[in-house]
Chains A and B, each alone.
Chain A
Amino acid sequence: MVQFAWLIPMFPLLGFLLIGLLNKRLPVSLSGGIATLMVFLSFVVSAVIFREVAQDGSVPERVVLFDWISVGDLSIPFSFLIDRLSVIMLMVVTGVGSLIHLYSIGYMHHEQDHPRYFSYLNLFVFFMLLLVLGSNYIVMFVGWEGVGLCSYLLIGFWFKNIDYCNAAKKAFIMNRIGDLGLLLGVLLIYNTFGSFGFREVFEAARNFPENSEAVTAICLLLFVGAMGKSAQIPLYTWLPDAMAGPTPVSALIHAATMVTAGIYMVVRSNVLYVLSPGASEIVALVGLATAFFAATIGLKQNDIKKVLAYSTVSQLGYMFVALGVGAYQTALFHVITHAFFKALLFLGAGSVIHAMSGEQDLRRMGGLKKVLPITHATFLIGTLAIAGLPPFAGFFSKDEILAKVWEHSPIMFFVLAVTSVLTAVYMLRLYWLTFYGEFRGTQHQKQHLHESPATMTIPLVVLAVLSTIGGFIGMPEVFHTPHYLNEFLAPVMWKVNHHSASETFEFLLMGISLALLLIIMFATYNTYVIKNVMPEENDKDLQGFAKLVANKYYVDEIYEALITKPLNGISSFVYKFIDQGFIDKLVNGTGTSLNGLSGVLRFVQTGNIGGYIFSMVIGIIVILVLTMIL
């Protein structure tokens, strides 16, 4: 069955072509159905292959489709790698993917342009599957850039709004900055190990000395790519803006799948990162900084999707910290649980927005618990999962990260622990403000409040179930149950630190985090529900740190002032005064001065065609005569 792995990306590609080509000729209701079916079929094939790989195979298998680029000794086959890492990613992408496709049918039914939306969404899944299936860095890069394109197309789905278009453009360009880093890293890999293939590179790397310059450079360059795709400092500012796209897109691309590509890539390259503790440390530090700063920004956002976006940036930071300390499986564990609960939260937010006739501002919501019972219940589960309440999924993966970080560096542990407190605060703030208290929207909005249709609530329920039980695949050692995920992933990992924290520490950690969480729940309930404290209507009223945070530390403004403006300014200046001014003038000047000197050239410049051709012919004859004499 593994040999049929090509079917997995083929279905969504087929869906893209079918919906894209038939377009308006397709009955309106059908395009969503086809798109969902295609991803679901991929899910089925993935599941079958997953079973097979889980049962017998630690042996990774390569499926070669065709010879893509080969020049001399460089050979890049278009081929897939089926191993335990890729099948897990397949399950997440196609599983969460089909749920979000299904949800989209309900969410987008008011929209005009169904076929465009669903064809892009299918195309995204196709590229995402290439990304995780590729058996070499170049095929992975195909998926990597492809998902960036789809992200661009879907963020700018409502292309009449120029702000949305700018957000889309920003996402693509920031990703491209990362992509250049990735591409250079990949070229360095080829020039160091002589191949682009995962298997060949890692085999060669195993015999490499630790801390060699080349490997460190490779790791850092690959990480630049990850910064772009997975929204880490300094390339994270596109992700909050990307919320301009339809909400299911935010759930699928900007939370559950695409943005975790950077983590997948580092996990895939774990052999290289193990060899470079220096680069790994940088990964951890950047992840830590991102996790912390994004969480502080999340505290003061009032747009429901923006809060979730910063939360995503922050959670991705968590994952990079895990990668940096060498806990690759743990990072992947968090990728999986995060895919469940963050997709759930985004879809829940979508359901709220849907009910609120497009309103996204927390200050206009409130009291939605009664009207949106299913959305409320599932959203609560998502909130508890991300906040880290046992036994919800987020608890296990987050705890594992914290435990691993503790062994690496207590200071980092401390910062990360504070970050998880902040996470709980901003998520519960969001939850109370949305579902409790009085309704604060307009009369018009109030009349239209309704629970979402089944196509939207079914995915919510499924994801809620996954967010509840998903953590059991990786129970902490103190419970003396097998860590299924670690066992499953063992064959694709090289040297993993299997040190686990002491039992006392584990219990202490769990106890403290549970206690803290309960305190935060009570405190935020007290603030936002009992005392009914509302966020300021106007950001200008804010003071000091709150103002800084609400304005996202002015990072966008700083980039604008330091990069965008100077680049355009200098280019304009050079264009006007150097390109058109100096160089061109110099050329014209040479012509003019020659013209002044030479009578022959004056004849040439009469603009008479006959003259030119005549002179050319004469020239040729002169040359012939000259050569004869010589």
Chain B
Amino acid sequence: MITLLILLVPLVASLACLMLDQAKVKVFALGTSLVSLGITVYAFTLFNNDIADQFLVNYWWIQNLGISFKAGMDGISILLVALTNLLLPLIILTSFRHEYKNANTFYALILFMQFALVGVFTALDGFLFYVFWELALIPIYLICLMWGGNDRAKITLKFFIYTLTGSLFMLAGLIYLYLQTPGSHSFDIDVLYNVTLSPVAQTWLFWSFFLAFAIKIPIFPLHTWQPDTYTDAPSQGTMLLSGIMLKMGIYGLIRWMLPIIPQGLAEWGNTAMILSVTGVVYASCMALVQNDFKRLIAYSSIAHVGLIAAGVFALNLQGLQGAMVQMIAHGVNVVGMFFIIDIIQRRMKTRKLDELGGFANNSPIFTILFMVILLGSIALPLTNGFVGEFLLLNGVYQYSAWMALVGGLTVILGAVYMLRAYQKVMLGEPHERSAEFTGLHQTEKIVLVAIATVIIVTGIYPKPIIYVAGPAIEDILAHVKDIY
């Protein structure tokens, strides 16, 4: 029931947005996103850590094809739903000082995006998962296309085709998998988990799934759509993409790849691991030489998720726990970072690092909040980033010390590019135009303070996240270990 509610609230709200008055739509969208958040909190209070697939809804959709509308949550799902529903109100709040044209459509698409994302994270039927996966692409594509920057037509098209291509591989894989199910075939996740596959089939499936998920995450060298799209999308679009949507890829790896094709992973996981950690160093180096602040964070995001993917491919408890903690940490931090860029850009009409500088004088509160978010993203202890990065590195270390060393370079490189950016923006003599940098507005303060609070609270007390994710991860690993 709760699962249905969490799905339906944003869907209904999205449709309602289309009919509302332009002036009221912002507040309405914020209100409904807070309702979703409330329901999620309520779901947490009901959540029983000992039972898999809770809040299950299961209806036949197309019965003779074995397709059902089956959705529910285990520890992994509920955490990602929580991330989505926590970030949504914040993302909507960040838009409060923007006046977008066609605001109705804008907010309707954001809420529809929420619906699709929650669907991806809760679907327990292969076909349903695929439908939500593709549904999520449509609103974000439209948001980027209609409210994006100058190059939006070309860039969004590339983004669209790139990710759609990946999805098609996944679809092919899913159908193949479906055809291997016994009896009258089924897309039910429990059935898919128990399909017996030949090693060759596992290899093919590995690559078809890997392509889809790796493009979404993105894993090097399938990343080139990402910096362009992040840079060109409107701020809220970038936040949705980087904060939540890329977690679809990681989630896909964990839920739909690990348990289904463990042998494929045993064979090809090392390749994936190498690509992931290469991406960490590669993207960090790219971030070093960016002058556009938004593009810099886009590359840093590739580096961060590269390490998350490496933790997943390590196929051990700590790596996966690290991935869970870091997905949430990265989501929160990257939204904060993109909002900081938004705040600067709206005031200064530029986000080129060499045209900024000296803002530390103007707004001490902004300086401190920026610093806290920065510390979270460079994984300083007692911030959320540290817990995730530490567990990830520990997981990767158990897989291979050398991989941990290469991936661990993010400890150094992250500090180099983030402190460079911070210095270029905040420090130095006041810039000739930096007087135009006014202090924070109320809504801006609320968002940044909320994010900073989450960064520190989950850094000091990550226990609830680890506790909730634990049994679900062990379930997943049990499927992987079966094979060995």
Contact = CB atoms under 8 A, between A and B. Distances in A.
Interface of A: 20, 23, 66-72, 74, 116, 138, 141-142, 145-146, 149, 152, 156, 159-160, 162, 165-166, 169, 172-173, 176-177, 179-180, 183-184, 187-188, 190-191, 567-568, 570-572, 574-575, 579-580, 583-584, 587-588, 591, 604-605, 607, 609, 612-613, 616, 620, 623-624, 626-628, 630
Contacts of B288: 567-568, 571
Given A145-B380, A146-B382, A149-B375, A71 B289 contact: no
A616 B167 CA distance: 11
A616 B136 CA distance: 12
B364 interface: yes
Choose among A23, A116, A152, A584 the residue with the greatest number of B CB atoms under 10 Å from its CB: A584
**Chain B binding site: helix, strand, loop or mixed by DSSP?**
helix
A68 to B, nearest CB: 8
B405 interface: yes
A159 B370 CA distance: 15
Nearest to B422: A169
B104 to A, nearest CB: 16
A173 B419 contact: yes
Contacts of A146: 380-382
Nearest to A190: B394
Given A72-B318, A568-B289, A620-B131, 11 more contacts: A74-B394, A146-B382, A149-B375, A166-B423, A176-B412, A180-B412, A187-B397, A575-B285, A588-B158, A609-B142, A628-B65
Interface stretch (B15-23, B112-120, B330-338, B426-434): B426-434
Interface in B411-441: 411-412, 415-416, 419-420, 423, 426-430
A605 B161 contact: yes
Contacts of A68: 460-463
Contacts of B62: 624
B427 A183 contact: no
A184 B408 contact: yes
Contacts of A162: 423, 427-429
Contacts of B380: 145-146, 149
B390 interface: yes
Contacts of A166: 423
Given A190-B394, A587-B162, A142 B408 contact: no
A176 B463 contact: no
Interface of B: 62, 64-65, 131, 134, 138, 141-142, 145, 153, 157-158, 160-162, 171, 175, 178-179, 185, 221, 224-225, 282, 285-286, 288-290, 317-318, 321, 358, 360-361, 364, 368, 375, 380-382, 386-387, 390-391, 393-394, 397-398, 401, 404-405, 408-409, 411-412, 415-416, 419-420, 423, 426-430, 460-463, 466, 470
A71 B381 contact: no
A69 to B, nearest CB: 6
A30 B141 CA distance: 55
Contacts of B171: 623
A520 to B, nearest CB: 42
Contacts of A180: 408-409, 411-412
29 contacts: A67-B463, A69-B387, A69-B462, A70-B463, A138-B381, A142-B381, A166-B423, A169-B419, A176-B412, A176-B415, A179-B411, A180-B412, A184-B397, A187-B397, A188-B397, A191-B398, A571-B288, A572-B289, A574-B285, A575-B289, A583-B221, A587-B158, A591-B161, A604-B161, A609-B142, A627-B65, A627-B178, A628-B65, A630-B179
Contacts of B415: 172-173, 176
B387 A165 contact: no
Contacts of B175: 623, 626-627
Given A70-B463, A146-B380, A579-B224, A187 B394 contact: yes
A165 B286 CA distance: 23
Given A567-B285, A571-B289, A575-B286, A587 B412 contact: no
A403 B225 CA distance: 65
B146 to A, nearest CB: 9
A129 to B, nearest CB: 14
B229 to A, nearest CB: 12
B158 A159 contact: no
A162 B424 CA distance: 9
Contacts of B141: 612
Contacts of B428: 159-160, 162, 165
Nearest to A73: B317
Contacts of B386: 145
Contacts of B138: 612-613, 616
Contact of A616 (B134, B286, B398, B419): B134
Nearest to B395: A71
A267 B460 CA distance: 28
B318 A74 contact: yes
B224 A156 contact: no
A142 B382 contact: yes
B401 to A, nearest CB: 7
Contacts of B390: 69, 138, 183
Choose among B131, B142, B364, B419 the residue with the greatest number of A CB atoms under 10 Å from its CB: B419
A588 B162 CA distance: 10
Contacts of B412: 173, 176-177, 180
A340 B401 CA distance: 41
B66 to A, nearest CB: 9
Nearest to B358: A160
Contacts of B420: 169
> Which A-B residue pairs are the 9 nearest by beta carbons?
A142-B381, A584-B224, A571-B285, A159-B427, A180-B411, A187-B397, A571-B289, A165-B427, A72-B317
Contact of A69 (B157, B358, B361, B391): B391
A152 B415 CA distance: 12
B50 to A, nearest CB: 17
B286 A579 contact: yes
B61 to A, nearest CB: 11
Contact of A184 (B162, B290, B405, B461): B405
B470 A71 contact: yes
Contacts of B153: 607
A592 to B, nearest CB: 11
Nearest to A153: B371
A160 B429 contact: yes
B328 to A, nearest CB: 14
A157 to B, nearest CB: 11
Nearest to A620: B131
A169 B426 CA distance: 13
A580 B466 CA distance: 39
A168 to B, nearest CB: 8
A257 B297 CA distance: 35
